[in-house]
Amino acid sequence: MNIYVLTIHNPKFSFGPNMRLQSFINSLKDKNVNFILPKFASTHSKGKTINTLFEILFYLIFNRKKINLIHVVTPPAYPGLIAVFAKKILKIPYIVDVGDPAAENFATSHELTNKNPLFKILKRIDNIIYKNADHLILTSPILDQYTTKASAKSTILSAIDNKEKVPENFKLPKNKKCVYIGNYGPLQNLEYVVGIFTKAIKKDPAISLDIIGSGNKEAIQTIINEAQCQNKIRIFNPIPSNEIPKRLKQYTLGIVSLDLKPNLDYAIPTKLLTHLFYGLPTFGPAGKACKHIIERSEGGKIITEYNERNDTSALLNLLNNRSTLEKHSKNALNYAKHHLTFEHFGKKAALIYNKAKK
C-alpha cells in the first residue's frame, strides 16, 4: 500500500506533528506500507510554503494511480483542502490525523474569539476536511467535541515515536529532582509552574527543577532571580530527542504545563506520553484530556485549576511521599506497555488504513 503524507510540517521546526507522524511510519515498517513524504520547505517562508503546496497538488494529479490513501497531518488545516480535491476529483480516499483542531489552535495562539471572522473561516475549512474524510485519527479523548458531528468514524490513537521497549524493572531515583523538557511559550504558561516551585523550594530545599528547551527565558529567569532560586531552578538549551530518555532517568518527577483555557482542553503534550513510557510520574497544570490520561494510567497528578497555595502543597506532598511516586511510576510503565508501544500503534493504524483505502 502506498500512502501519501499530506503535511507541510518540517521536522526541524514542528516537533509535535513530526513525532506523531514518525510513530505511524515506524510502527508500520513490517506491514507492507510505503509512506511517500513531500519535500519540506527549509524555512518558514510563506512563498516556499505555497510552492510546496503546489508541488504536492501536481504530484497527486500525476501519480494518482500509484497512491492508495492520503494521510493528512494537521494543524494547519488548509493543506487538507488538497485532500478534499483529491478525493472528489481524483477519487483518492484520505484520513486526517487531528493533532490539534486548527481553528481552535490558531484562535488560542492569536487570542481570537469564536466570533472572529478569521476563526469562522478556519472552522469552516476544518469542518469541510473532517466531513469528507474516510476516517479521523484523534490524538485526544475529547477531540470529538471539536470535530463536526457529520465527520467520518474516528479512532483515538495517542502516539509517541520511540524505538525502544518499555523499560523493565525500572527504579525511580531517590531524589526530588524535577524536569520540564520541551518548548515553552504563551500556550504553556510555564511561569506559573516556576512560581509554584519557588514557593515549594523555600519549604523544602531538596527540591529542584531543570527546564530544558527554548522559549521566553527572560520572564522565567526574572521569577527565578526574584525568588533567589538560581541554584535550584536551572534553564538549559534544547537537547536532541534521542538524548531525552537518558536524561529522564536522572529525575523523579516530570512536569507538564498548559495554559488552563477551554480551547486547550483537548491538548496532550508529547512530553506527557514520554513520561509515561519511561515510568516518570507526571505533575502540572493541563486540561481535561491530560487529566483523563493521567487518571486512567494513575501515573501522576494533573492540575485543572490555578491555585498557588493548593498546587504548592500538592507538589510538596507528592515529592515527599516516596511510596506514591513509586506507585505512579509502575502504573505509568504498565499503561505504556498496553497503549504506547509500536505494536499497539501498528495494529490500530493498519486497520484504519485498510478500511479507508480504495
Question: Tens of pLDDT along 99-157?
Answer: 888 888 888 778 888 889 998 999 999 999 999 999 999 888 888 888 876 666 888 88
* Residue 171 falls inside a structural domain: no
Q: Left if phi > 0, otherwise alpha if psi is -120 to 50, otherwise beta: which for 184?
A: beta
Distance CA 213, CA 235 (A): 8
* Residue-wise pLDDT tens digits, 260-273: 988 888 888 889 99
Q: Inform me whether the pLDDT recorded for 13 exceeds 70.
A: no
- Does 9 share its domain with 105? yes
* Residue 352 falls inside a structural domain: yes
- Does 138 share its domain with 190? no
* Residue 169 falls inside a structural domain: no
Beta bridge partners of 277: none
- Does 346 share its domain with 304? no
Beta bridge partners of 155: 137
Among 8, 86, 94, smallest CA distance to 52 is for: 8
- Does 130 share its domain with 230? no
Distance CA 306, CA 192 (A): 9
* Residue 115 falls inside a structural domain: yes
- Does 16 share its domain with 62? yes
* Residue-wise pLDDT tens digits, 191-208: 999 999 999 999 999 999
CATH number of the structural domain spanning residue 350: 3.40.50.2000
- Does 130 share its domain with 183? no
Q: What is the per-residue pLDDT for 151?
A: 64
- Does 148 share its domain with 295? no
Residue with cell 500509484: 66
- Does 212 share its domain with 155? no
CA angle 10, 271, 259 (to 5 degrees): 95
109 or 324, greater pLDDT: 324
Distance CA 72, CA 78 (A): 10
Parent domain of 351:
2-160+341-356
* Residue 250 falls inside a structural domain: yes
Q: Residue 100: how many CB atoms within 10 A of its CB? A: 25
The conformation of residue 163, written as its DSSP 8-state character, comes to S
Q: What is the per-residue pLDDT for 30?
A: 78
Residue 44: which pLDDT band, with cuts at 50, 70 and 90? low
Helix locations, 165-278, DSSP H: 190-203, 217-226, 244-248, 270-277
Distance CA 208, CA 222 (A): 17
- All three cell numbers of 185, joined, read 511559550
Helix (H, G, I), strand (E, B) or coil at 179: strand
The half-sphere exposure of 96 on its side-chain side, counting CA atoms within 13 A, is 35
93 or 242, greater pLDDT: 93
What amino acid occupies position 164?
E
Q: What is the largest CA-CA distance in the chain?
A: 66
Distance CA 87, CA 77 (A): 16
- Does 334 share its domain with 187? yes
Q: Which residues does 71 contact at the CB level (< 8 Å), separation at least 6? A: 3, 4, 5, 6, 21, 24, 35, 94, 95, 97
* Residue 168 falls inside a structural domain: no
Q: What is the dihedral of CA 161, 166, 167, 169, to 10 degrees?
A: 160
Mean pLDDT of 71-93: 91
- Does 185 share its domain with 246? yes
Instruction: Please give the backbone phi and psi of residue 157, each rounded to the nearest 5 degrees, phi first.
Output: -145, 85
* Residue 296 falls inside a structural domain: yes
Distance CA 326, CA 174 (A): 10
What amino acid occupies position 106?
F
- Does 122 share its domain with 218? no
Domain tally for the chain?
2
Q: What is the per-residue pLDDT for 162?
A: 66
pTM as predicted: 0.83
* Residue 165 falls inside a structural domain: no
Task: Encode 319-349: b = buried (16+ Cβ within 10 Å), e = exposed.
Answer: beeeeebbebbbbbbbbbeebbbbebbbebb
- Say if CB 93 and CB 28 are below 8 A apart: no
As a whole number, the mean pLDDT across the chain is 88
- Does 143 share its domain with 202? no
Mean pLDDT of 289-318: 95
